[in-house]
Structure 1
Amino acid sequence: MYKLYCRSFQQVMKVSAAFLPWRVPELITGENSVADLPGLIAKRGIDTVLIITDQGIIATGLMEGLLEGLQREKIRYAIYDRTVPNPTIDQIEEALQLYHESGASGIIAFGGGSPIDCAKGVGARVARPTKSIPNMKGILKVRGQMPPLFAVPTTSGTGSEATLACVVSNSKTHEKYAMMDPVLIPHVAVLDPVLTVNLPKHITATTGMDALTHAVEAYIGKSATKQTRQWSIEAVKLIYENLYEAYLNGDNLRARDNMQKAAYLAGMAFTRAYVGNIHAIAHTLSGFYNVPHGLANAVIMPHVLEHYGKAIHEPLANLADAAGVSNAFDTTEQKAVAFIQSIKTLNEKMAIPSTIDCIVERDIPMMVKRALQEANPLYPVPKIFGKKDMEGIIRRIVR
């Protein structure tokens, strides 16, 4: 009966999704395209913005060109640079206070998924000033008028520049959860490959595998549509053709550009078709131990896909064709197995470990509980996991 309830809930969500007011971000793309953003902001009549970023971005000087452009356009700005991986509710509240103090009427998110999530959180609080972040947890709880949000990703993984999700952490309870509402989709996304050139290898690797996880889970889930499947296929093809090259040769702008496109397409796919059990476990790991999200996804993905078994052989075979790893195989099962093996191989080639070394035995029961709460009934997964399934996966990744 529980599985029937989950499937019924998921079917209602799939039907409802067709009627949601999806926003497609206006795209600014190409080398040094971030230079075009200040002019666009000025044309929208915005004279003050809050920039949300992190101290690593500040230290690299990546924002200097943007700041000069804002000054030329006579756009005032304030900078909140205290975002950390897995942004917390407290950080969102700090940034919100600066937003109001500065008199901002727009937000620029500059960085990886964490600054973009923090910016979405601030936007949600502006839209619904009487509601706290915990009160907006879940689906369609924001529903207000967001200030203009301009997303400038400096990694190629989260796809946050295209999604309706804002993932936040509660530093007191170690819980990590999402707010999901179409109003959280950024109004503008800047895909400038130059901003990703100096990414450390391990960040290139794990964020790239994050994008792959998004594409895979969107494709194999039961809420996939013809359009989301096509976005996922295109993303997988781009990732397999460009991720390892970007990892080896960080200054290859073509590879960097294609990885940004892949992350964006995967984001478009999963924001409409959802993710699954891989993400449910990964979010739990991040909440408990602050494990970087992309790393968690990369480690967990092959284990979950193997556990699904025959339920996903056909879609994985299609992804194997897109990835170019199926030529030596004839059957659907062989292709599916080859695709999972290709994930393991890619992880190994990019020095991504196969296990996580920080998991504490006494935490596992609560981790299982939270992963199940996130996954069920919302995620339209190929196979609904129970307690034994979740615990088995978590124990497999313990180092």
Structure 2
Amino acid sequence: MPFSLQVLFYKTLMFFIGVAAKVIPQPKPTVYCGPDSALRLTNSMIQFGYKKVLIVTDRVLHEMGLLDPIKDKLASAGVEVTVYDGVEPNPTFSQVHEGLKLAKDNQCDSILTVGGGSPIDTAKIISLSAVPGAKAPEKFVGLFKARKAGLPLFAVPTTAGTGSEVSVGAVISDPVTHEKGVIADPKTVPTAAALDPNLMLGLPAPITAATGMDALTHAVEAYISKLATEATDSYAMASVKLIFGNLRECYSNGGNVDARESMAVASFYAAVAFNKAFLGYVHGIAHQFGGHYNTPHGLANAIVLPHILDYSKDACADRLAELAVAVDLGSSTESNSVLAQKFVDAVRELNNDLGIPKTLDALKSTDIPEIAKGALKESHFTYPVPKYMDQAQCEALIGKMVS
């Protein structure tokens, strides 16, 4: 089929996905924000009357003692706590099954997840699979596959990037095929979330950088999406402003509580935006990097973002120009093309200031055709991109990221 006809098909598909996105309600968690908000969230779980809580996290956070105040508060109220700390970056379905077994064996009635996007995504699928009669975790891959709500889920993000605490999806990897299983369903949204900057103060600078650029990618892709609306624009624009205003400070001065809180809010806003406007090619390619090389998702997004903006800018110059003006890169009297280029240049400059590499060391030229194929498959059937690319164009673009 000629590529022009393929593009017509993809645009038609995106139209119907857009209609569905408008009709299907978008739940939002109750949000606790500010220092010690994680403990306020924990107290609300106690007031709800939950008695057996599964905490889903990663081993580093657990061994650091970050969970101790939360565990102590639950224990003091007579709540039984089971901890699953086996989640790793780019979580796999085997990790979901390990956590699911603990939830079932201990008859957990709720889940509290503490960590970055990986623990939160893992907890989402454990939640859906833990209720009686639920599908196996792998069966949720795709759009709107959950027939009923999962176990009550509460989230405390420890990075300001993924927005998984409010997003309608999760990404789980298949370690054999390297494919990323994208699960999108409103039933994955937690009941409540805590944006607690105190839990982000010790985040290393490289992780602060990568997760912050992850949030920026979410906001920018939502803003240039063909499904963007006035509502999603307001959240995406606010997120971009907060990130440009606070990410460098968080990177150089990780103890700044106000800047950390602003980044947490920016991440949340970006996810609210992409819940309805969706994402784009940056994520399609970044997910492949994660599946093939276990590249941290935020780092992958940061490396890919400038390249996709270069490719797409002529098709969304007006949108990029609006972002440029919003973050004081120029005046609205300048042409859209000039402002769009200023914004792309500013993204590259931000990457450079944050120590983000321009290329991906793990990327092998021989893998590029397979990576491009996987990225296009995900993107063309999921994301309303402003400008489409074919296999050859995608391979050429990815090739620019080879060290």
Same fold per superposition (TM over 0.5): yes
Distance 1:306 1:270, change over 3 A: same
Distance 1:340 1:38 in 2: 41
2:365 counterpart of 1:370: no
Partner residue, 1:238: 242
Deviates more, 1:279-288 or 1:388-397: 388-397
2:312 counterpart of 1:312: no
2:362 counterpart of 1:323: no
Shift of 1:392: 1.4
Partner residue, 1:13: 17
Any conservation in 2 of the 1:177–1:283 contact (CA below 8 Å)? no
2:60 counterpart of 1:62: no
TM-score under structure 1 normalisation? 0.98
- Within a 5 Å distance, the mapping from 1:332-351 to structure 2 comes to 332-351=336-355
Question: Which of 129, 136, 140 pairs up with 1:132?
Answer: 136
Question: Which of 13, 30, 44 pairs up with 1:40?
Answer: 44
SS of corresponding position for 2:316: helix
Any conservation in 2 of the 1:317–1:335 contact (CA below 8 Å)? yes
Question: Which of 242, 255, 276 pairs up with 1:251?
Answer: 255
Partner residue, 1:288: 292
Deviates more, 1:155-164 or 1:64-73: 64-73
2:90 counterpart of 1:89: no
Partner residue, 1:151: 155
Question: Which of 164, 176, 180 pairs up with 2:168?
Answer: 164
Which amino acid counterpart does residue 62 of structure 1 have in structure 2? L
Query: What residue ranges of structure 2 are gaps of 5+ in the alignment?
Result: none
Partner residue, 1:75: 79
Partner residue, 1:181: 185
Which amino acid counterpart does residue 150 of structure 1 have in structure 2? F
SS of corresponding position for 1:198: coil
SS of corresponding position for 1:303: helix
SS of corresponding position for 1:161: coil
Distance 1:158 1:324 in 2: 25
Any conservation in 2 of the 1:314–1:332 contact (CA below 8 Å)? yes
Q: Deviations over 1:89-115 (max 9, x none)?
A: 000000000001111010011000000
Which amino acid counterpart does residue 69 of structure 2 have in structure 1? G
Q: Deviations over 1:246-303 (max 9, x none)?
A: 1110010010000000000001111111000000000000000000000000010000
Any conservation in 1 of the 2:126–2:137 contact (CA below 8 Å)? no
Q: Deviating runs (4+, > 3 A) in structure 1? A: 127-130
Any conservation in 2 of the 1:231–1:266 contact (CA below 8 Å)? yes
Distance 2:101 2:352 in 1: 44
SS of corresponding position for 1:233: helix
2:206 counterpart of 1:224: no
SS of corresponding position for 2:54: strand
Distance 2:36 2:134 in 1: 39
Shift of 1:135: 2.2
Any conservation in 2 of the 1:194–1:253 contact (CA below 8 Å)? yes
Which amino acid counterpart does residue 101 of structure 1 have in structure 2? D
Distance 1:154 1:329 in 2: 41
2:391 counterpart of 1:380: no
Partner residue, 2:196: 192
Calculate the aligned-residue CA RMSD, in Å.
Answer: 1.3
Query: What residue ranges of structure 1 are gaps of 5+ in the alignment?
Result: none
Any conservation in 2 of the 1:107–1:119 contact (CA below 8 Å)? yes
Distance 1:227 1:127 in 2: 34
Deviates more, 1:103-112 or 1:136-145: 136-145
Shift of 1:59: 2.1
Distance 1:67 1:231 in 2: 34
Partner residue, 2:402: 398
Distance 2:238 2:285 in 1: 26
Which amino acid counterpart does residue 325 of structure 1 have in structure 2? L
- Within a 5 Å distance, the mapping from 1:349-368 to structure 2 comes to 349-368=353-372
Shift of 1:21: 2.7
Any conservation in 2 of the 1:127–1:142 contact (CA below 8 Å)? no
Which amino acid counterpart does residue 310 of structure 2 have in structure 1? E
Shift of 1:378: 2.0
Distance 2:223 2:317 in 1: 12
Shift of 1:324: 1.9
Which amino acid counterpart does residue 311 of structure 1 have in structure 2? A
Which amino acid counterpart does residue 357 of structure 1 have in structure 2? D
Any conservation in 1 of the 2:97–2:137 contact (CA below 8 Å)? no
Any conservation in 2 of the 1:193–1:253 contact (CA below 8 Å)? yes
Which amino acid counterpart does residue 322 of structure 2 have in structure 1? N
Q: Deviations over 1:197-247 (max 9, x none)?
A: 000000000000000000000000001111100000000000000000011
Question: Which of 109, 112, 115 pairs up with 2:113?
Answer: 109
Which amino acid counterpart does residue 68 of structure 1 have in structure 2? D
Distance 1:254 1:343 in 2: 23
Which amino acid counterpart does residue 31 of structure 2 have in structure 1? L
Distance 1:28 1:394, change over 3 A: same
Shift of 1:309: 3.1
Distance 1:327 1:202 in 2: 32
Any conservation in 2 of the 1:106–1:149 contact (CA below 8 Å)? yes
Q: Deviations over 1:36-84 (max 9, x none)?
A: 1222112212111100000110122111111111112211110000100
Question: Which of 28, 43, 47 pairs up with 1:24?
Answer: 28
Q: Deviations over 1:307-335 (max 9, x none)?
A: 11310110001111122222497111111
SS of corresponding position for 1:77: strand
Number of matched pairs: 399
Question: Which of 277, 282, 285 pairs up with 1:278?
Answer: 282
TM-score under structure 2 normalisation? 0.97
